[in-house]
């Protein structure tokens, strides 16, 4: 079920009414309703894959209970590896099997022994990368004795399948989300109003910005050989706004929806395109995944300790694995490696933690150094996004080669000028809203302290934007494929 669909517009109020008006006095029934609603939400897409979620839930629930009773280190490690192998086994089978078989076939044939291998014709279960990492965080934290294993199966099942963030995050830690299912929840008007504000802004990001950018992005990327350098660069810039509007829009809707039910999820995006270097960008982009890899991979590898060579190795591992997490394609691996290359100078010069605060905090405008830094960071990010969007490595290199050609200084070849001007106006409004709202959790967060007339006038304007510029067809979120 898509957040931007009629189905969800009907589904959400029904669950909300049942949750707060029918089951409000019984915490267990509220949690059971969340489990049922989450399975309906996911099964709306394909009910057959519900068995995967249920199986992962059962495995990690019983592994957690066993870890709680077991004191012998050898047995504890065995239990942890059972959970890792089961969860990553499902992920590897559905997401990476064909990739490895294809590459093994190519490599074997390269040495003069052509072979033919059968590929699987299967659908990638939506959200498997997200809920796999979420449930793994539970087992790992119980193994590390940072979390007491739960005996409440319904709460645990609700934690694994919580529908607002089930298919595209934020990837919640068990230490943050699971305890919230144990506590009695009472309706909080301010929290719910905040959630509605965040949902509205998320819909603007997705339906007004991302979907309208997608129109030009698809045309330019799918016909890149026919366009000059300036148009190709423009395509990269529009894709940067498309993927941000799409993914951060989803996160805002997910976090806002959770607030309607009394839950607080972690912030997943913090105005990443105002970053002054790539290290700051990665502290602000897909925060739940970045911190997951930091806590469960980077730090166990040694993090920033040890020799310089050791640190460089860890940086490349973390970025390449992060790229591979996004998809079984060499384009994602190169995208991850390229970001590691971007990060390297900051690591070697020990400047990777220079910008921890939001830019121009307490001021309306940034200084010129910040403007230049933001521009350069955005530029290299756009180049990296080309790999993320391209069909394959050859396409990505041809696209970038086309950008850095003499035609980069020609006028862009735009064939629907009226719509292009419109998207420029919408993006300009979007950047302004993000800039003036950058000290909040999301762009319109600050509206809660404005006079009622300003607040409601802004809501009406955002609803007007959605009504005027939304696509007539439902468009899936990009990160559903991951």
Query: Could you tell me the residue ranges of all domains in the chain?
Result: 6-185, 191-276+355-480
* pLDDT for the residue numbered 413: 87
Q: What is the pLDDT of residue 60?
A: 95
pLDDT at residue 480 is higher than 70: no
Does the active-site annotation cover 121? no
Tens of pLDDT, residues 128-164: 888 999 999 999 999 999 999 999 999 999 999 999 9
Give pLDDT tens digits for 69-82: 989 999 999 999 99
Q: Which pTM does this prediction carry? A: 0.92
Whole-number pLDDT of residue 427: 97
Residues 63, 82: contact at Cβ < 8 Å?
yes
Averaged pLDDT of the chain: 92
% residues pLDDT > 70 (the chain): 99
104 versus 467: the higher-pLDDT residue is 467
**Catalytic residue, candidates 226, 286, 326, 355:** 326
Residue of 66, 420, 397, 48 lying closest to 231 (CA atoms): 420
Give per-residue pLDDT as tens, 352-375: 888 889 999 989 999 999 999 999
Query: 307, 248, 302, 251: which is closest to 273 by C-alpha?
Result: 248
Following DSSP, what letter does each residue of 260-289 receive, concatenated? HTT--PPP----GGG-SSHHHHHHHSSHHH
Kindly tell me if the per-residue pLDDT of 396 is higher than 90: yes
Inform me whether the pLDDT recorded for 16 exceeds 80.
Answer: yes
Q: Say if residue 472's pLDDT is above 80.
A: no
pLDDT at res. 481 = 64
3-state secondary structure (DSSP) of residue 443: coil
């Amino acid at each position: 079920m898509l957040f931007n669909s009629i189905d969800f517009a009907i589904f959400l109020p029904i669950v909300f009414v049942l949750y707060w008006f029918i089951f409000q006095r019984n915490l267990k029934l509220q949690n059971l309703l969340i489990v049922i609603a989450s399975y309906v939400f996911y099964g709306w897409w394909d009910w057959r894959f519900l068995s995967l979620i249920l199986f992962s839930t059962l495995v990690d629930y019983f592994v957690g209970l066993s870890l709680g009773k077991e004191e012998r280190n050898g047995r504890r490690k065995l239990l942890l590896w059972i959970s890792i192998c089961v969860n990553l086994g499902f992920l590897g089978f559905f997401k990476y099997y064909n990739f490895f078989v294809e590459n093994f076939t190519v490599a074997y044939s390269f040495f003069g022994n052509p072979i033919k291998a059968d590929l699987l014709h299967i659908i990638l279960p939506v959200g498997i990368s997200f809920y796999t990492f979420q449930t793994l965080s539970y087992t790992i934290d119980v193994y590390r004795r940072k979390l007491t294993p739960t005996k409440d199966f319904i709460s645990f099942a609700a934690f694994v399948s919580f529908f607002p963030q089930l298919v595209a995050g934020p990837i919640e830690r068990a230490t943050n989300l699971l305890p919230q299912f144990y506590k009695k929840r009472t309706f909080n008007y301010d929290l719910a109003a905040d959630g509605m504000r965040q949902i509205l802004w998320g819909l603007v990001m997705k339906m007004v910005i991302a979907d309208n950018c997608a129109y030009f992005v698809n045309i330019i990327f799918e016909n890149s050989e026919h366009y000059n350098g300036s148009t190709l660069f423009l395509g990269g810039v529009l894709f940067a706004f498309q993927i941000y509007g799409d993914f951060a829009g989803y996160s805002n809707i997910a976090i806002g929806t959770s607030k309607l039910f009394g839950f607080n999820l972690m912030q997943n995006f913090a105005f990443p395109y105002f970053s002054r270097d790539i290290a700051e960008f990665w502290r602000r982009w897909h925060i739940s995944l970045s911190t997951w890899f930091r806590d469960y991979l980077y730090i166990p590898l040694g993090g920033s300790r040890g020799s310089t060579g050791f640190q460089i190795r860890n940086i490349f591992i973390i970025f390449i694995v992060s790229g591979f997490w996004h998809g079984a394609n060499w384009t994602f691996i190169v995208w991850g490696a390229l970001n590691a290359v971007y990060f390297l100078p900051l690591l070697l010069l020990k400047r990777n933690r220079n910008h921890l605060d939001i830019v121009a905090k307490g001021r309306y405008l940034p200084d010129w150094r910040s403007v230049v830094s933001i521009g350069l960071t955005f530029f290299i990010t756009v180049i990296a996004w080309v790999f993320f969007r391209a069909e394959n490595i050859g396409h990505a290199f041809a696209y970038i080669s086309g950008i850095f050609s003499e035609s980069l200084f020609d006028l862009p070849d735009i064939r629907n000028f009226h719509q292009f001007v419109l998207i420029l106006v919408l993006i300009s409004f979007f950047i302004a809203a993000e800039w003036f709202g950058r000290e909040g959790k999301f762009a319109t967060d600050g509206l809660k302290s404005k006079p009622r007339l300003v607040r409601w006038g802004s809501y009406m304007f955002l609803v007007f934007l959605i009504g005027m510029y939304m696509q007539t067809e439902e468009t899936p979120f990009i990160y559903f494929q991951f």
